[in-house]
Each structure stands twice: as C-alpha cells, then as structure tokens.
Amino acid sequence: MIDKEKLEKIKLIALDLDGTTLTRSGLTRRTQETLEEAIRRGYKVVIATGRPFVALPEKVLEIKGLEHVIISNGGHIVSLPGGEFVYSDYMDQEASLRVCAILQEESFDIEVFTGGAAFVDKSLYEDLAANGSDYLSYKYILRTRRPVEGIYDFWREHSREVENVNIYFRNPEDKQRMAGVFEAVANITVTSSMPKNIELGGAGTSKAAAIEALCSMSGLTMENVMAFGDSPNDCAMIEAAGIGVTMGNATDDVKAAADHIAPTCEEEGVAYTIRTMLFGEASGMPQRKKRRWRFWQNLKRR
C-alpha cells in the first residue's frame, strides 16, 4: 500500500512505452483518455522511451497536452509539438569509437541512434526486406530505421553525437559475453529493454537522469514523480521516482525495484493505476477486464 502522503506529492507521471503504456495493439483509447484526464487535472505526463523520436507512434504524439518526450533511453528531452531538443546527453566520443571498434570485429546486427533517428546498415535493411527474420522484429525495423551505406563508417562520422547503440543477439551466450566486454569500457552505460538486445549510452545517460533534468526545468523533484516501466532500462527511473511502478508483465528483477506492481500492459495497467491511485476511483478498469484480472490473480495463487 502506497502512503497517501507520497501520492499527494505526485505531479509528474513518467511512462515507458513498450510493455508498459502500449498493448500489443498500441495505445488504447482508455489509456489515452486517462492520460489526457491526468493532464487536465494538473499532472505533467512525460513519455520516457528507448525509441528514437522518429519511431514514436502517432497516437502517442496526439495525446492532448503532452509537452515532452524522453527518447533514446534519456539521450534527449524533446519538447512538443515542435520537436526541439531541450536536453541532450551523448556518448563520450572516445568511448563511442572504442565500442565501434569492438563491434566491428563482431558480426551482430546493430543500430546507431543520432539526431532522434535510428540507422542500420543498408545490407541488413535490404536482407530484412527480402527475407524477414526469425529473431528480429523486422517489420518494425523496416518501418522505423533508416538504412545507410556502411554503418560503422556512419558511426565514426557521427561519433560526437551518438545517443544510443542497440545490439541484437540471436544467442543468449553472445549477449552475456558482450555484456561483460561492454561493462569493461569506461564512460558508457549498459542496459537492455528486451531479452535479445543490449543498449549502450553515455556514462550518465538514463531515463532517470533525463527525468531529473526535466524536473529541474519544471520546479519539481524526483519525489514528485510516479514512474512506470517493465524492463531493465526502466529500473533507474523506477528506483529514483517518488513512486516507482512496474507492470505485471515485468520480470522479477525489475519488479524488485518497484514500490508497486500494476496489472499488465495488456490489461491497461497504466490507466488502472492512475485512476485508482491518483484519481481515487474505486475501480480503474471496466468490469470485463476486472474479472479477467481477478481470474489471473487467483490462478497465480494456486
């Protein structure tokens, strides 16, 4: 049970997207209406995602009253509707070039984030277009990534302004091995948002750091923040927030970082939690969803 005094201090709601605010079908009408109502009630709603700006769903950007989004795991704070970067945190150039050299000796599929966009090698893009993939979300990549001739040359050319690097792994052993390699490199952060990837950022880059910067701009502190997430790249903001919330679909290690565990993203856990905890509604979900939630909770107890 969250202390009432803590709830009364909440002024800013920070939301991860995938696996948190979005269902498999995207942003639901109920969640959008809940967020817009929160904004009308005076809460500041902020999206905090690992996605680059160009990959944000249109429906998210259409949330009425949404003023800022945090992208690339904290690489930028972007003001809306203009899309101006009001805060940026890039990888150290030396560290960026070091990681570039390490990965060029490997054969993993990579993405380089810069300028609010994500870039992949043209050969990978064309292969995905022609053959698909059995381990990558290739339709999403084709829709949101930009192909370049020679991703490592592109990386070196933009080494001063790399926000994030995303590496995909077919085998868990490769991910574990490379995590150890990256953790030995100075001045980078190593995190993940899904079982088959590692994401690299600057030494102090995180969603938490970006939220703290936004709080400073807004005259708030982290105790005024309620943060929602489901993956390792959300843990820092969940732990730093006044109230940290993980979704029912999060793994146990992420849940351990939270003050509260919400229903799953498919059960519109963000909307439910905001309505019950911040709006004080007796039930934050329709009866049909409520019955389904109770069914699964009872099933887990058996």
pLDDT score of 286: 47
When pLDDT is averaged across residues 233-248 and rounded to a whole number, the result is 97
282 pLDDT band (50/70/90 cuts)?
confident
> Any idea how long the chain is?
302
pLDDT tens track for 41-59? 999 999 999 999 999 999 9
Gap between the Cα atoms of 235 and 191, Å rounded:
10
Residue 129 C-alpha from the chain's centroid: 26
pLDDT for 283 beyond 80? no
Q: What is the pLDDT of residue 170?
A: 95
For domain 93-202, the CATH class is alpha beta
What tens digit of pLDDT does each residue of 23-41 get? 999 999 999 999 999 999 9
Evaluate if residue 265 carries a pLDDT over 70.
yes
Per-residue model confidence as pLDDT tens digits over 99-141: 999 999 999 999 999 999 999 999 999 999 999 999 999 999 9
4-88+206-301 topology per CATH: Rossmann fold (3.40.50)
Question: 174-206, pLDDT tens digit by residue?
Answer: 999 999 999 999 999 999 999 999 999 999 999
What is the residue extent of each domain of the chain?
4-88+206-301, 93-202
User: Residues with Cβ < 8 Å from 301, sequence gap 6 or more?
Assistant: none
pTM: predicted TM-score of the whole model, two decimal places: 0.90
Close Cβ partners of 115 (under 8 Å, ≥ 6 residues apart): 161
Mean of pLDDT values over 219-240: 97
Closest by CA to 91, choosing from 209, 203, 184, is 203
**Given the structure tokens 């959008």, which residue do they identify?**
32
Q: Among residues of the chain, what percentage have pLDDT more than 70?
A: 93
Query: What pLDDT is stored for residue 287 in this prediction?
Result: 46
In this predicted structure, what is the pLDDT of residue 294?
56
pLDDT value at 159 more than 70: yes
Report the Cα 142 to chain-centroid distance in Å.
20
Report the percent of the chain where pLDDT is more than 90.
Answer: 91
- Ranges assigned E (strand) in the chain: 12-15, 44-48, 68-71, 76-79, 84-88, 109-114, 117-121, 145-148, 164-168, 188-191, 197-202, 225-229, 243-246, 260-261
Kindly state the helix (H) or strand (E) to which residue 296 belongs, with its residue range.
helix 287-301
HEC per residue, 107-139: CCEEEEEECCEEEEEHHHHHHHHHHCCCCCCHH
Q: How confident is the model at residue 262 (pLDDT cuts 50, 70, 90)?
A: very high
pLDDT of residue 289 exceeding 60: no
